[in-house]
Every structure is written in structure tokens, then in C-alpha cells.
Amino acid sequence: MRKSPRLLLLEHYRTHARSLPWRAPPGTNALPDPYHVWLSEVMLQQTTVATVTPRFAAFLERWPTVEAMAAVPLEDVLSQWAGLGYYARARNLHACAVEVAARGGFPDSEAELRALPGIGDYTAAAVAAIAFGRDAVVVDTNVERVVARYFAIRRPVKDARPEIRRRAAYFYEDVDSGEMAQALMDLGATICRPATPDCAACPLSASCAALASGEPASIPPKPPKKARPERHGTAFVIEKDSAIFLTRRPTKGVLGGMAALPGTDWQDGPAPAGGAPAIRHVFTHFALTLAVESRDVPPAGTEGWWQPKDRLDEAGLPTLYKKALAAFAEREHTPTLLP
């Protein structure tokens, strides 16, 4: 009797599963800590496993439980998050921790999880299935690609999501949802890769419609790229007594609540020609040209603090401002301001 594609995939996963610190060993029926699953899923949004793994360990070392995270100010979480990008995740992470701690733990159903701050459909399904053993159809970007190829769905993912989710339910029939979710995620991350799928190593190759078509890498098709809007602004480097003046970004918006160099508001459009030396930083939805200028005193009315230069790494500056300080130090031929 031929084994079903679902069984072939699960057998492959149990043999080849990635060893990740937030997982329980496959095939053991053990359930991982819901706090670990939730934290890893939030951190992995738009961020690679290689980047997340050491940062996940650092978060757990500092806050080993969700109650410990809930007990600290938001600014501490933002500082620890620095460099991971998409900073709304950090704000939602703290808000969710506060709510979970107040209710005495994570709920175990998709519906209740979805009601928590920052938890959408995917994260709710993933935590319910992986941490609590609930039946759920878990679909992330890797799973979307695997499903689109397996069923040869020849439309961009953003246009085909309802069909992809409907088709994905096939893989979750009569199996452990948490284990299947991780099997599909691993398959998409290591074998069914975006540009170079390793079809020869895939346990689903015998029944994959994209492979049968002869052009698996062309499925799903990529939508045409849109040009990113341009913005520009200025950051001020203000030094006094071996310290740098820092402020905090507005709570809402890009880099919300993060430590920052003071400066002008960011304006739409390309930077004017002939301005101060600048750096360029690309966000998800726009590109920013940020001029970097030296100032003697903080702008009038700007709230902030003086951060010792030898403790700048403790301020939690996001990558944008680290780049600005590095460019300023290089231009002024001064020792680097960051470790």
C-alpha cells in the first residue's frame, strides 16, 4: 500500500527536522512551552531563523517567563528588540505579555489567542497547534509556497491566499496539526525554497503538480515590484562630556517608541541636492535618505537624555541610527561611537 503524501512528509520531518530552541523533539508528543512558541513566532515574522535564534536566547535569559516580560517597562523590551526591525512587533509583544500575565497564562484556542494584542490568524493557529495540540490549519509564507507548488496554483500568493488556505487543509487532515505545521515550514525553508527548490530531496515530489509541470521555481509567480517611495530628513549628533543626546521616537509610526537621534521630521520626496552628508536606509514601504549633522545643543523643546558613549550599546538604538553614528564617526575621523 502506497503511503500518503502526508505520511511521507511527516516521516521526512521526523528524520530531518531542524533543531530549534523553541521546538519540542518531533515524534515525541511533547508540547513546548507556549511562551517559547509565541515569542519565537513573533520574532520570526519577517526575520530569518539565523537572526532570531541568538536573540531568542537573549530574550529568555533576560525574561524567562511571560510574567517577567510583563513586569518591565515597554522601553526595556524595545531596547532588547533593537536591530530586529518591524518595531510594532516589540510594542505588541509587551502589550500581549501584560495581558497574558494578567489572565494567568496563554489561552489555548485560536479564537482566544487571536484576541490578544499583536496576534493574527497565523500566529494564533501556530500557537494553538504547536503549543496546545489543537487542530488548526497553520499557513505561513513557507507553507503558502509549498501548497501553491504542490497544487500548481499559478497566481501570486497575495491574490491566491483564500485558495491556498483551502488547499492547505488537505495536509492537516487526520494528523497532528502542530507537527504537520512544522513539517511544512521546514520543507519550505530547506527544500521547497523560493528560487532554487531541491525537488530531488522532496518527500512530496512524486505528487507535486509544480514539479510535473517542469518549472517548479516559477510557481507561485512573483507580482511585479513596485518602486518604493522616497523620504528624507536630518539627524543631529549632539555631544557633551563623553555623552550623546538621545531622544525617543513617537509611540506610533515607524520605529515607534525606539531610542533615536533627535532630528527633523521625515518628508516625502527625494533629498534635496547639495545637502549634508547622508546615509540611506530602506524600510519595507519606503526608502529614507537621512542627513547627519553635528549640533551643539538639543533642539528647543526636545525631551531626551545624555547617553554615555561607552554605554551606547545599552540604549537600544535601531539600525538606522547606528548607521548614522557610524557614518558620522567615519566622516569626523573620530573613534567609532558604537561597539
Count the domains in the chain.
Answer: 2
Does residue 337 carry a pLDDT above 70? no
**Given pLDDT bands bounded at 50, 70 and 90, which one contains residue 156?**
very high
Q: Indicate whether 131 and 53 sit together in one domain.
A: yes
Please choose, from the candidates 185, 163, 181, 182, the residue with its C-alpha nearest in 3D space to the C-alpha of residue 172.
181
Task: Please give the span between the terminal C-alpha atoms of the chain, in angstroms, as a whole number.
Answer: 61
Sign for the pseudo-dihedral over CA of 72, 73, 74, 78: negative
Amino acid found at 39: L
Instruction: Evaluate whether residue 72 is within a structural domain.
Output: yes
Whether residues 18 and 90 fall in one domain: yes
Residue 68 domain flag = yes
The per-residue pLDDT for range 81-120, each reduced to its tens digit, is 988 888 889 999 999 999 999 999 999 999 999 999 999 9
Global pTM reads: 0.82
Active site residue 41: yes
pLDDT of residue 290: 94
335: confidence class by pLDDT, cuts 50, 70, 90? low
Average pLDDT over residues 194-216: 95
pLDDT for 334 = 62
Locate 183 and state its grid cell: 513539517
Phi, psi torsion values for 208, nearest 5 degrees: -85, 120
Classified as helix, coil or strand, 307 is strand
| Cβ-based neighbours of 220, under 8 Å, separated by 6 or more | 144, 145, 148, 149, 153, 154, 155, 156, 157, 160
Q: Which of 41, 110, 144, 179 is catalytic?
A: 41
Cα(332)–Cα(339) distance, integer angstroms: 17
Q: Does one domain contain both 167 and 40?
A: yes
Across the chain, mean pLDDT equals 92
| Region 72-77 average pLDDT | 93
Q: Which domain holds residue 56?
A: 5-138+163-188
| 26 within domain boundaries | yes
pLDDT tens digits along 286-296: 999 999 999 99
Judged against a pLDDT cut of 80, whether residue 316 lies above it is answered with yes
pLDDT band at residue 238 under the 50/70/90 scheme: very high
The CA distance from 68 to 65, in Å, is: 5
